[in-house]
Amino acid sequence: MTAVARHLIFDLDGTLVDSAPVIVATLNEMLSERGSTCSVDVGTIRPWLSWGGPALIAKVFHVEGDDAARELTDFRARYGDRGTPAECVFDGVREGLRDLAALGFSFAICSNKPQYLCEKVLEDVGLAGHFPVIVGSAAGLKQKPAPDLMHLVLRKLQARPSRSVLIGDSDVDHAAAHAVGVPFRL
């Protein structure tokens, strides 16, 4: 007999919320202040969002080591100061979460975005109340596609992989789900 999934684990960016415009505005502000004539657009950065901030910063600013760490710290501070507008929630997400909750599903977030920024974005857009478990990147945990964040989500949900599904938008999410034996849905 196949177990029925009861726990829905969602990636955040690109799955529930389109934060790309806010991220692009933040990156372009930083580039401009640094005297760069370059700018980025949503199409350019969207593929990098799933890999997390360090990869995104390295791609945009062409830096590494201490320089990358400084740029990432600056980016996260600026991003945290910006609000994520409620309109960034994808169409149908609010209704879908309401309907799925009525069917008895439990929800969690598993994101490469730092924990505090996950919580802030969910608060900004009015979705935080749906997610009793929110797991973002933190010191000592490898980001997706490594299994660390997913293992933590499953522990916090007290859920077996066979009773869970990861819903995401990228190969990074798919690989993380596969690494812990959780079915994946795009």
Known catalytic residue at 11: yes
Burial group, residue 122, by CB count within 10 angstroms (0-12, 13-18, 19+):
buried
Q: List the catalytic residue out of 11, 18, 124, 148.
A: 11
Count the alpha carbons within 13 Å of 65 in the hemisphere toward its beta carbon.
1
* CA pair distance 19, 168, nearest whole angstrom: 14
Phi and psi, residue 27, nearest 5°? -65, -45
Q: Which residues contact 142 (CB under 8 A, 6 or more apart)?
A: 148, 149
Cis peptide before 54 (omega within 30 of 0): no
Place of tokens 């969207």: 46
Known catalytic residues? 11
